[in-house]
Amino acid sequence: MRGSHEAKNESGEQNIHVVKDVIVNPAGTNGTRFLLTTIGFEVTTGEGRRELESKDVQVRDMLNSILTSKDLTTLVNADEREPLRQEISQKVGDCSEAVR
């Protein structure tokens, strides 16, 4: 997962898999708050991007599980973003070796 960097292979193909419109209720909000986010994964190859696209349901389920386990304070705290990125990358990386 990267910020605004674009990963391209030799042929100029973008190797980013984007999961758009992930909507979850953070822990402890009793459904009164929601988080809407888009998450991009930098992958090693175009094949890896296609692999993640084929596993979109599993990836969304992982993201849902991770994000709903966090409370609102954790999700908005800038100091918690890198550990959250690492947790997401590790769990999605377990699903696909193509994730960087």
Residue 73 near residue 26 (C-beta atoms within 8 A): no
Please tell me the distance from the alpha carbon of residue 98 to that of residue 15, in angstroms, as a whole number.
10
Q: What phi, psi does 52 have (nearest 5°)? A: -65, -40
Per-residue pLDDT of the chain (100 residues; tens, 9 = 90+): 444 444 454 556 678 899 999 999 999 999 999 999 999 999 888 888 888 999 999 999 999 999 999 999 999 999 999 999 999 999 998 887 767 6
Q: What are the phi and psi torsion angles at 30 (to 5°)?
A: 50, 35
pTM: 0.81
What percent of the chain is helix, strand and coil (3-state, nearest 5)? 45, 25, 30
- Which residue shows structure tokens 């296609």? 50
